Amino acid sequence: MKDSISKPIPRVDAPAKISGEAKYIGDIRFKNQLFAKTVRSSRAKAGIVSIVKPELPEGYFIVDKDDIPGINRMRTVVSDQPIFAEEEVNYIGQPILLVVGPEREMIYDIISKIKIKYRDETPIFNLDEAEEKGAVFTEYSYSKGKPEAAFQDGLKIIEDEYHTGLQEHVYLEPQGMAAEYRDNTMFIYGSMQCPFYAEGALKDVLGWGSDRIRVIQSITGGAFGGKEEFPSLTACQVAVASLKTGHPVMMIYDRDEDIICTTKRHPSIVCYKAGLDRKNQVIALAIDIKFDAGAYSGISPVVLQRGMFSATGVYNFPHLSVRGRNFMTNNVPSGAYRGFGAPQTIFSMEMLMHNLAIKLGIDPLDYKIRHLLERGEPTCTGGKIWDEVKLPEIIEKVTAMSDYRRKIQSNGKYKGVGVALFLHGCGFTGNGEQLIKGKIILKKNGGTVILKVSSVEMGQGAETCLRKIVAHTLLLPMEKVTCETIDTGLIPDSGPTVASRTTMIVGGLLRQASLELKDRWNESDNIEVSRVYRHPDYLRWDNDTFHGDAYPTYSWGANVAEVEIDPITCEIDVKKVSAVYDVGTPIDETTLTGQMQGGIVQGIGWATVEVMNPSKGKLKQHNLTDYKIPTSMDIPEIACEFIENPYEFGPFGAKCAGELPFVGAAPAIAAAVSNALSVPIKNIPITPEYLMELDKHED
Amino acid sequence: MKIEFVLNEKKQVIQVDPVSRLLDILREDFELTSVKEGCGEGECGACVVLMDGKAVNSCLIPAGNIEGRHILTLEGFCKTERYKIIEESFLKAGSVQCGFCTPGIVMSTESLLRENPQPNDNEIRDALSGNLCRCTGYNMIFEGIKLAAERGKGLW
Ligand code: FES
Ligand code: FES
């Protein structure tokens, strides 16, 4: 495949990162800048009775709710979180005020003298308590077929319950944001995924129009969803501080602070009632999904929606009812994290199928294959699988690569192999893409082309892939195609860098615009072509009933994991992961392989070592000594392959990719552990304590 | 207190509090921002520099300990032939994503190859055990290091 778009090229952002010249926000200094440090709630739920502030030395400031010129709420899906706490606090770590000044030592000294008096109230710490008290933020449901009638029809009923835990992103660069108020305009610089989200939040908080706000992304050291909505909060805080002090204000979190107060992956409980017919086929399924949204609702409603619309994984169940609820607790707010609610429900679904199969004495892979979705069949929300489903080919390849069929027969105790099948809905959920109407601009300037988009480089390779799509279409060398600075004053809003939408949706618009530019190339030296997203006509979605095509198309995958369990310590050693993906056409094989490798390893972390449990609303693990992520010593051999399945509306056939690999790793590992120890795995992270507990029950 | 040391081949004399961290001296006083702070407690390796040729976490080194030592940061190392090999190998192998871990990993690589120019897989894993990377999943960094060892034969 000479000259195929998939042929790897060197990443455009890598040289400056390797040489250390790349400047992240913490590496930048503004003239006369001040530092800001946040004073946070030490209580999970309390009224604020009083705040006694010390006398401030000259040049030092306290910035709080009273300094906000506009609305004291962070704009997101549900704009319920205050920028600075008002009369009450609802989680440990909630921001109350900033201390701002030139010297860090003095700032710490001032903070130590601030006395906050609280009136404690009764908090809610987990899903069970929240359910008991009816503390629900959001409740949705949908159904397909006739689930109630089906359950009445003499089916064998099996009920089951699955749990997943908190997960911290641990992007290696902690959150950082700076504001500089000058020329009647607020300039914001920082590590972020979604500059226009921050702009929207700033408009509310400052009460200004976008003409007086510029949000400029600095090189972003990893994000994974953790820099989706959260930076809107810090952007507003430093903006208000800069407005008050008249100085540029810089706020960089250290790791402890970052872990304590930033969003995390939603902990979940998923309950099933499965109805099996005489051939043991699952005919009817009732799914009840519970997410711990933490103290504020924020972006959680859409996370729940994706979790619900992915809840049946790669299977087709004729009769289905799905209920989803976000619960309010006094834990740190949950938020966007790679996979966005889908990893929780797909883990649970995969393990349900696995555990059912074992119970019935059927090979888990064969049992799963009996339920697979096929092209033309209805999706769980009553839409249609429009495009070809290459799961049979994917399964054949991954089982051959891993020798799965032989190993599942011959593995001895403490050695296990497990398989997971999964999908990911590409782009925004439901009518999200139609609402956002992403826009892009391509500008020819002599022999060069500049592309203007709001999709950011955050490590995933977006800049290289988007430039490559344009360069490849126009037959130009990469150097002739550049990206405009990510500055809301210079670029159109092509939507946030989320939902694995960058390559497929934004790249798709760039591809169309480049084709037009190619046709018109000789018209003049200065040509501007723009495009606004249009949903394919054949897709239908009703956002009130959740009926129709929840996603334009899907990417698919299968993982086989092999593990060994230490018989004494019960520690899990993941030996190998074999992975096959259908992401349409990979835009760059090396970049895509990087996404897959990294996603798998994050998934291994979530499934095994990443333990985070709050005790009374306080995180017991709040640094990298206590909260372990996989290191170079922990990772398995990973074999990763792609199969081609071009998508008509994606650039060169590309579909979504960045979140997909995260989804498959955890269930494959859990299935392998289950195989090794002959126990049903229903919770992650799979800790040694959990395995010992299970072992006791088995004996 | 007054401290004398060699930084990127140049002799320096500075006046500092002996407990201040080498990381801060490098970043704030010398503006050597390739040295990153990912955790500040010796867990992540983003702040790795070479002290007398050995990889150390600069967030854990108090100023008092650098008296008379040779400190090498990426700003100094990037002018060498060996750096060029590492750069091109990392580019080729796709070893870099967000890049925040990369300077530390480049310095750990240099430290490894100085000691052991032809490391095997386990030795590479071991040498990187103090460098966290949340993006790549490590395998493609291992590939980059292997490629560097191969392409740079004779340089280390
Ligand atoms: S900052 Fe030094 S090891 Fe993390
Ligand atoms: S490339 Fe992002 S942490 Fe390593």
CB A533 within 8 A of CB A439: yes
Rounded average pLDDT over B110-129: 98
CA A542 to chain CA mean position, Å: 24
Cα distances (Å, whole numbers) of residue A696 to A80, A677, A690, A699: 45, 12, 10, 5
Q: Do B94 and A633 make contact, defined as CB atoms within 8 angstroms?
A: no
CA distances (Å), origin B137, targets A256, A603, B94, B125, B146:
23, 10, 11, 12, 16
Of B98, B132, B137, the CB nearest to A638: B137
Task: Write the pLDDT tens digit of every residue in A531-590.
Answer: 999 999 999 999 999 999 999 999 999 999 999 999 999 999 999 999 999 999 999 999
Chain B within 8 Å of A497 (Cβ-Cβ)? no
Rounded to an integer, the average pLDDT of A56-63 is: 98
Determine if residue A343 is left, alpha or beta; phi over 0 gives left, psi from -120 to 50 gives alpha, anything else beta: alpha
> Where residue B155 falls among pLDDT bands split at 50, 70, 90?
very high
Q: Whose CA is nearest to atom 4 of ligand 2?
A: B133
- B/e letters for A129-148, b = 16+ CB within 10 Å, e = fewer, are ebeeeebebbebebbbbebe
pLDDT of A2 strictly over 80: no
Average confidence score pLDDT of chain A:
97
pLDDT for A273 beyond 60: yes
B136 pLDDT higher than 90: yes
Q: What is the pLDDT of residue A411?
A: 79
Distance from C-alpha of A684 to C-alpha of A162, rounded to nearest angstrom: 9
Ligand 2 pocket member B145 (CB < 6 A)? no
The percentage of chain A sitting over the pLDDT mark of 70, rounded to a whole number, equals: 99
The pLDDT mean for chain B works out to 98
For a ligand 1 pocket test, name from B35, B47, B51 the mutation site with the most ligand atoms within 8 angstroms of its C-beta.
B47
Residues 101-120 of B with CB under 8 A from A: 101-103, 106
Q: Read off the pLDDT of residues A218-228 as tens digits, 9 standing for 90 and up.
A: 999 999 999 99
Q: Of the bound ligands, which one is closest to the alpha carbon of residue A594?
A: 2
What domains can be seen in chain B, in order of their start residue? 2-76 (3.10.20.30), 80-151 (1.10.150.120)
- Name the residue with the closest Cα to ligand 2, atom 2: B98
Nearest CA in chain A to B84: A19
**B 19-58: CB under 8 A from A:** 27, 33-41, 43-44, 46
Beta carbons within 8 Å of A562's beta carbon, 6+ residues apart: A402, A407, A415, A416, A417, A574, A575, A576, A577, A636, A672
Interatomic CA distance for residues A686 and A611, integer angstroms: 9
Element (H, E) at B53: none
CATH number of A25-121+175-252: 3.90.1170.50
User: What count of residues does chain A have?
Assistant: 699
Which is higher by pLDDT, A697 or A264? A264
Angle between helices A300-309 and A342-360 (to 10 degrees): 30
Give the burial string for A35-65 (b: 16+ CB within 10 Å, else e). bbbbbbbebbbbebeeeeeeeeeeebbbbbb
Closest by CA to A112, choosing from A182, A39, A171, is A39
Candidate from B21, B24, B27, B41 with most ligand 1 atoms within 8 A of CB, to mutate? B41
Output the CA–CA distances (angstroms, integers) from residue A415 to A475, A573, A678, in the order listed.
Answer: 51, 10, 10
Please provide residue A90's backbone torsions phi and psi, each rounded to the nearest 5 degrees. -125, 0
Are A71 and A207 within 8 A, CB to CB?
yes
Residue A698 has what pLDDT?
63
Instruction: Kindly identify the ligand whose nearest atom is closest to the C-alpha of B45.
Output: 1
Q: Angle at which helices A462-474 and A507-520 pack, to 10 degrees?
A: 30
Could you give the strand order of the β-sheet that contains A136-144, starting from the edge strand earlier in sequence? A136-144, A319-328, A282-294, A268-276, A156-164
Model confidence pLDDT, tens digit, residues A600-614 = 999 999 999 999 999
Task: Please report residues of B whose CB lies closer than 8 A to that of A220.
Answer: 98
Spatial separation of the C-alpha atoms in residues A332 and A44, rounded to whole Å: 9
Q: A341 with A266: CB under 8 angstroms?
A: yes
Is B80 near chain A, with CB under 8 Å?
Answer: no
The string of pLDDT tens digits covering residues A616-661 is 999 999 999 999 999 999 999 999 999 999 999 999 999 999 999 9
- Cα(A607)–Cα(A596) distance, integer angstroms: 16
Provide, as residue numbers in chain A, all residues whose Cβ is less than 8 Å from the Cβ of B135: 172, 222, 459, 594, 598
Out of 3.30.70.20, 3.40.50.1220, 2.160.10.10, 3.30.365.10, the CATH code matching A268-429+545-698 is: 3.30.365.10
SS in 3 state form for A349-408? HHHHHHHHHHHHCCCHHHHHHCCECCCCCECCCECECCCCCCHHHHHHHHHHHHCHHHHH
To which residue do tokens 């690589």 refer?
B109
Residue A699 has pLDDT above 60, yes or no: no
- Listed by start position, the domains of chain A span 25-121+175-252, 268-429+545-698, 432-532
The whole-angstrom separation of Cα A147 and Cα A669 is 31
Q: Give distance in angstroms: CA of A577 to centre of ligand 2.
A: 21
CA separation for the pair A425, A383 (Å, rounded): 12
Sequence-separated (6 or more) residues with CB below 8 Å from residue A687: A608, A611
Residues A438 and A569 sit within 8 Å (Cβ to Cβ): no
What are the residues whose beta carbons fall under 8 Å from the beta carbon of A221, sequence distance 6 or more? Answer: A24, A171, A172, A173, A191, A459, B36, B98, B99, B100
Contacts of B33 in chain A (CB under 8 A): 20, 23, 26-27
Mean pLDDT, residues A493-519 taken together = 97
When pLDDT is cut at 50, 70 and 90, the band that residue A1 belongs to is: very low
Tens of pLDDT along A445-461?
999 999 999 999 999 99
The C-alpha torsion from A365 through A370 and A375 to A378, rounded to 10°, is -120
Backbone φ/ψ region at B8: left (φ over 0), alpha (ψ -120 to 50), beta:
left
Residue type, A74: M
pLDDT of residue A695: 78
Which residues 446-465 on chain A approach chain B with CB closer than 8 angstroms?
Answer: 458-461
Asked if residues B142 and B105 have their Cβ atoms less than 8 Å apart, the reply is no
The ligand placed nearest to the CA atom of residue A170 is 2
Q: Which residues of B fall within a CB distance of 8 Å from A20?
A: 33-35, 73-75, 78, 102-103, 106
Give me the residues paired with residue A581 across strands.
A557, A642
For residue A146 the two structure tokens come to 């006739």
Partner B contacted by A172 (CB < 8 A): yes
How close is the Cα of B23 to the center of ligand 1, in Å? 9
Structure tokens at B2: 């007054």
As given in the structure block, the two tokens for residue B147 are 């490629």
Q: Which ligand is nearest to the CA of B37?
A: 1
Structure tokens at A542: 């009703």
Nearest-Cα distance to chain B for A51, in Å, is 31
What does the DSSP 8-state code read for residue A332? P
Task: Say what the ipTM of the complex is.
Answer: 0.99
CATH architecture observed for domain A432-532: 2-Layer Sandwich (3.30)
Instruction: Give contacts of B102 with chain A, Cβ < 8 Å.
Output: 17-18, 20
Between the CA of A372 and the centroid of ligand 1 the distance, in Å, is: 47
Question: Minimal Cα–Cα distance from A653 to chain B, Å?
Answer: 23
Angle at A30 between CA A27 and CA A31, to 5 degrees: 140
Nearest C-alpha neighbor of A272 from the set A291, A290, A285:
A285
pLDDT at A304 over 80: yes
Please report residues of A whose CB lies closer than 8 A to that of B19.
none
Domain A268-429+545-698 shares a fold with domain A432-532: yes
Interface test with A, best of B27, B78, B139 (most A CBs within 10 A): B139
